[in-house]
């Protein structure tokens, strides 16, 4: 069983049996069924797997943010995450674009790799 996720860090569940990362958190490893799981810090690198640009704010809290990019990020360790892509114009985001994690006010987000 996983303990609560540490805050203010980018962490993913990792199986201590087979060494593979996974996401979302669950009681057993989806690769080998092992139950010895821990939060580990992955490389923080990945690439755009798919993306979409939000032009209409879903609520008033996002009105200053549009347009912004929501993407499925394929991390280098394997798990796919839904995240915002920041630090780049939405029209410049493309499938395969290399990304690195950035800890923003809203938690982990991804930005283009320098």
15 near Zn ion (CB under 5 A): yes
Indicate the residue among 29 and 99 with the shorter CB distance to Zn ion. 29
Residue window 31-70: x/- pattern of binding to Zn ion, with contact defined by CB under 5 A: xx-x------------------------------------
Q: Name the residue among 70, 76, 18 with its Cα closest to residue 44.
A: 76
Residue 84, Cα to own-chain centre: how many angstroms?
8
Question: At a CB cut-off of 8 Å and minimum separation 6, what does 5 contact?
Answer: 11, 25, 39
Window of 26-34, 56-64, 81-89, 106-114 that interacts with Zn ion by CB under 5 A: 26-34
């Amino acid at each position: 069983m996983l303990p609560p996720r540490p805050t203010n860090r980018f962490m993913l569940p990792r199986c201590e049996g087979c060494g593979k990362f996974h996401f979302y958190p669950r009681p057993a490893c989806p690769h080998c069924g092992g139950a010895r799981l821990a939060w580990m810090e992955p490389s923080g690198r990945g690439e755009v797997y798919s993306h979409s640009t939000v032009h209409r704010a879903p609520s008033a809290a996002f009105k200053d943010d549009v347009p912004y990019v929501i993407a499925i990020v394929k991390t280098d360790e394997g798990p796919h995450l839904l995240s915002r892509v920041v630090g780049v114009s939405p029209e410049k985001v493309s499938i395969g674009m290399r990304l690195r994690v950035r800890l923003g006010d809203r938690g982990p987000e991804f930005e283009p790799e320098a």
